[in-house]
Amino acid sequence: MVRISARPGIKAPSHCRFKDAVESEQVAEANAMCIATATPEGRPSNRMVLMKGYDQRGFMFYSNYSSRKGRELEHNSYASLCFWWEPLHRSVGLLLLLMLCC
């Protein structure tokens, strides 16, 4: 497993929006997010992952470096994330430049 985080300077979603989702009894999994990546040819793909944390450096989630997602990020480090908290009628989407870390 490889941890991936956003490069410095990318802002995490509003802490209070995320806090609202975490504290809501109606949101089953506030950390669930959709990540979309693309092949070097530009073919997009997306999947659901669990955010493991975020801070001023960005988002952290775990990925198998040899998975399709890991290979796509190796060739194209742009990705988009989307949180959808349906009971709160909120969606937070971000375009990120990712970097692999330890």
Reported confidence tier of residue 2, pLDDT bands at 50, 70, 90: very low
3-class secondary-structure state, position 51? coil
| Number of separate domains in the chain | 1
Predicted pLDDT of residue 15:
60
Give the CATH number of the domain where residue 40 resides. Answer: 2.30.110.10
Q: Which 3 state secondary structure label does DSSP give 71?
A: helix
Q: What is the pLDDT of residue 99?
A: 66
Mean pLDDT of the chain, nearest integer: 80
pLDDT at 46 over 90: yes
What pLDDT, on the 0 to 100 scale, is given for residue 40? 87
Cβ distance 36 to 80 under 8 Å?
yes
Q: Which domain holds residue 71?
A: 2-101
Check residues 81 and 46 and name the one with the higher pLDDT.
46
